[in-house]
Structure 1
């Protein structure tokens, strides 16, 4: 069997054809592994018949859905490269990613029809020559005039297994993550790196026979995409929330007897804020995995008391997800720790030259494993800075204790984590400084009870009449909602070091208050 992620679905459909593979969280659509594989094959054969070549990029601007899941496996089988698109981004942001990646086919949900029409109207700014419109509940007449109905496109093709078009070190997907320069970087994962991501998580996490997994995170995130692959490998049923809602999550847990899932800490917190949530039956749940932000000890303890283990993950898009895993018992005993490395993963704390530091001494966290990315797409400079002597430089400052547990102390890259989303200040600062009434801007994260952190804009204005509300409004159509500053502070000077770099540490000292949301 070739190392091709799409073939995991093929094999599982052969072994367990009647086992449920995909269920929408409200129970409205249910597909067995055989049915899901057939749907995937139809799309794969359609793409091949339309001229898809090995390595061609296919963009997915889709909400969590069966169409996303089957498209991922279909593109993998056909030898294309998946480009998952963050549907929270505005058209300008999407245009950059589509152009940078060279997407030729775009599959999009009806919710984003207007945004896609805007992109299509920009002419040759992208290389897209095929648009597949997922209509969902909309009528056939709602299909964009430049697009083809996704359902009709798939229905015209056979369910036969397509010829496998890629394997091993061939590209599987390019997932974009914002960078400190303000421009997103495309993280390249191959069939091999993704497969090892499956192996290392499956060997470390508590997967059991009849696993019923609730998928709450957006599928354009590695934290959702990798579990989809694991579930095909394991034969688990994936219960998919189109978008997260804590009440609907509890209803799904109770009705479908969910056993596990992955949520960011904010989601877990929202679930226990649901009025009378204790009336739901969660006795089937063994564990929820969480990550992307620190997990309050009180939250871990609350779920423990409910009989649910909360296992914390430290990872990156660049590692296909896994780096360290912390079980719930030790999370309470060592609240500052992010755990120990996954099974097929090495982690060390190093100095600026990559030399391993002794126990208790802080340095940069480095990760090594066969699940680490191949490169940043079209960014050899960034790749060379990040992949050094086989190790991935994370940009996080950490320390290891005498029991082998790692703890993150700071973020070298000044990244803000808001509701599980990575937000990079440089991108927001670039937008702010394009305002004619602003001469300088610095962005930091403020502690937020609701989101973990929220962006705060500190600006020097040249227009004395400029207000905070006007600045926030200026950002609305230029940045995705989760990136938009939640508050503005005015200052006469932005603190900088001799080389001109903003001193974020000083800004955080100057504005230590918590965010209002």
Structure 2
């Protein structure tokens, strides 16, 4: 079969090569070769075409991690339909928004989402049910396995063009309704190609896929790059990512690389027996991101796992998913940094006066062949995001003279107190060094005198707010010190990708400060 270069073409080339019979994906002990995944994806594409799904149609995918997700991902790419991942942690009203906003004509879902799907205000005209999923639908419903019985297409499969739309990745919605980052096949391929060189991947790499495949990090951090190389990806089931399960899988599958969100890194630091087991594995590369990783966490893990590179990266759903990376040999001299730009990324900052510079402090700007094409259906937001020819990330950072980026927070999270900028991350770094604090977030609350003041919200055991304030007083300038330290009984609220929802903490903190008056 001849294929134009597109996302499905990556799988096709490997399936046709000497690596075709090698294992591509493993899930719960079941292995699939590249040729098996290729054939099942093509059958699915033909089945969807027969069911009325056409190139360019939006298809919402509401699946837990597993082999169907990989087949859907490549099947939609072969068909030329647009994949719209829906996070399985979303609530019905949030799923409704994604389906309506994207204009999805088809929804593919498994049993994990049955209750949420049943509660939707409206369903796309076609619903594909995976496994024992059942749904009452006035439109058309077809079983996934029925689609897979469709014969393979005869002759060549041309596939979509490089500049055709491939995916709509919805933002996490930390500041409002999620919007869709629209990605072409070309951008997705650039996002993966560079990882081979920049991360030193090869066919012997065994990657443990921990994030949901509905997140941008799921397919686009290493996974697709390894399909290009003939490497292996082992997929963790949704909801099965306890530290014990992760270590057991790393041991059993001989994992060399993986990705953990910061919250998971902190949990491992509370499990010395599991860290000891990790030291005896082949794990040699562990990257973290999605939010700034506390420096204390990286330092402690690096000491616990001396043979494993503990790497912090920076990326976004608008792509590249890995824009910068701090190598392990740079971790000591540039502790706390997110590293330097990778080969596909151009990095700058927009200073407060509006000027754009390679060095200095301000909003982080990116230019890349991997960057999204637009925010789908939002021309004004797209224009604002790409003002001056750069992608404005909404994140704040400092680029030093050597080109290392340090993330200081979100632009909308920055606190202005008495005319001075206060970056929550700087205070949070100090808090995370205090024994007993498991989670910490700093938010700004209204203040009659200063406009805003910083308030620390912490989670932990046997914590004394006054002692915490005294510790901060010894580490921070007076205008940066938290005016109050509030104990939060429950884990901090987070969005489906694990980022702290400061929009929920701000009113909570403000109410308690007002009540204390």
Q: What is the TM-score when the length of structure 2 is the normalising length?
A: 0.77
Q: Does 1:14 align with 2:16?
A: yes
The answer to whether structure 1 residue 373 and structure 2 residue 376 are counterparts is: no
Q: 2:511 is matched with which residue?
A: 491
Shift of 1:370: 0.4
CA distance in 1, matches of 2:46, 2:334: 51
Q: Does 1:410 align with 2:409?
A: yes
Question: Which segment is superposed worse, 237-246 or 154-163?
Answer: 154-163
C-alpha distance in 2, partners of 1:445/1:43? 51
Is 1:270 aligned to 2:267, yes or no? yes
Change (3 A) 1:75 1:282: farther
Give the corresponding residue for 1:241.
Answer: 236
Alignment partner of 1:10: what SS?
helix
Contact 1:58 1:83 in 2 (8 A): yes
Tell me how far 1:222 sits from its aligned partner: 1.0
**Residues in 2 aligned to 1:336 and 1:482: alpha-carbon distance in whole angstroms:** 19
Tell me which residue corresponds to 2:336. Answer: 336
Match of 2:104 in 1: 103
Query: Are the equivalent residues in 1 in contact too, given 2:44–2:150 (CA < 8 A)?
Result: no
1:261 to 258, 262, 266: 258
Give the equivalent residue in structure 1 for 2:485: none
Q: 1:194 aligns with which of 188, 193, 216?
A: 188
Structure 1 gap segments, 5+ residues each? 426-441, 451-471, 495-509, 512-517
Shift in CA distance, 101/249, structure 1 to aligned 2, threshold 3 Å: same
1:325–1:355: structure 2 CA closer, same or farther, 3 Å change rule?
same
How far does the alpha carbon of each residue in 1:36-66 deviate from its partner, in whole angstroms, 9 at most, with x for none? 1111111111111222222100111011111
Alignment partner for residue 252 of structure 1, among 249, 252, 258? 249
- Helix, strand or coil for the counterpart of 2:356? coil
SS of the aligned residue for 2:357 comes to coil
| 1:410 alignment partner, SS class | strand
Give the whole-Å Cα distance in 2 for the aligned partners of 1:379 and 1:444.
35
SS in 1 for 2:318: helix
**Once the 2 structures are TM-superposed, how far is the Cα of residue 310 of structure 1 from its aligned partner?**
1.3
Unaligned residue ranges in structure 2 (runs of 5+): 415-423, 429-440, 444-452, 462-489
Paired with 2:42 and 2:460, the residues of 1 have a C-alpha distance of 45
Counterpart check, 1:164 vs 2:158:
yes
1:144 to 2:135 alignment:
yes
Q: Secondary structure at the match of 2:163?
A: coil
Q: What whole-Å deviation, never above 9, does each CA across 1:251-291 have from its counterpart, x for those lacking one?
A: 11111110101111222232343362114564311101111
Task: State the superposition RMSD in angstroms.
Answer: 3.4
- For 1:336-369, what per-residue CA distance to the aligned partner results, in whole angstroms no more than 9, with x for missing partners? 311100112100112367633364x312111001
- 8 Å CA contact 1:43, 1:157 repeated in 2: no
Partner of 1:467: none
Matched, 1:174 2:147: no
Shift of 1:81: 0.2
For the 8 Å contact 1:314–1:322, the answer to whether it is kept is: yes
**Cα separation, 1, equivalents of 2:380 and 2:63:** 31
Cα shift at 1:493:
9.5
Alignment of 1:275-314 (within 5 A): 276-277=273-274, 278-279=276-277, 282-305=280-303, 306=305, 307-314=307-314
> Matched residues in 2 for 1:189 and 1:490: separation?
39
Aligned partner of 2:127 among 113, 131, 135: 131
Query: Shift of residue 200 of structure 1?
Result: 2.3
CA 1:448/1:235 → structure 2, altered by over 3 Å: closer, same or farther?
farther
Counterparts of 1:72 and 1:398, CA distance in 2: 34
How do residues 206-217 of structure 1 correspond to structure 2 at under 5 angstroms?
A: 206-217=200-211
Alpha-carbon distance between aligned partners in 2 of 1:372 and 1:259, rounded to the nearest angstrom: 28
- 1:159 and 1:67, CA in 2 relative to 1: closer, same or farther beyond 3 A? farther
Deviations 1:216-238 (A, max 9, x none): 01111111121321121121111
- CA distance in 2: counterparts of 1:481 and 1:345, whole angstroms: 24
* Distance change in 2, residues 1:444/1:82 (3 Å): farther
- Corresponding residue for 2:356? 356
Equivalences, count: 439
Is 2:46–2:152's contact at 8 Å kept on the other side of the alignment?
A: yes
Q: Distance in 1 between matches of 2:155 and 2:412?
A: 45
Deviations 1:98-150 (A, max 9, x none): 0010111111010111211222xx34xx5x11111111xx4xxx633433221
Relative to structure 1, the CA distance from residue 407 to residue 482 in structure 2 (aligned partners, 3 Å threshold; closer, same or farther) is closer
3-state DSSP of counterpart to 2:176: coil
Render the CA deviation track for 1:410-438: whole Å, top value 9, x for unaligned.
310229999xxxx9x9xxxxxxxxxxxxx
> Which residue does 1:30 correspond to in 2?
31
Q: Determine the C-alpha separation between the residues in 2 that align with 1:76 and 1:388.
A: 30
Structure 2 counterpart of 1:434? none
Q: TM-score, normalised by structure 1?
A: 0.77
Structure 1 pair 185–253 and aligned structure 2 pair: CA distance change class (3 A): same
1:152 Cα offset (Å): 2.1
Q: Is the contact between residue 80 and residue 165 of structure 1 (CA under 8 Å) also seen in structure 2?
A: no
Query: 1:179 deviation in Å?
Result: 5.0
**Which of these residues, 218, 222, 225, is aligned with residue 224 of structure 1?**
218
- Map residues 45-64 of structure 1 onto 2, 5 A cutoff: 45-64=46-65
* SS of 2:413 mapped into structure 1: coil
Q: Equivalent residue of 1:155, what SS?
A: coil
Shift of 1:299: 3.4
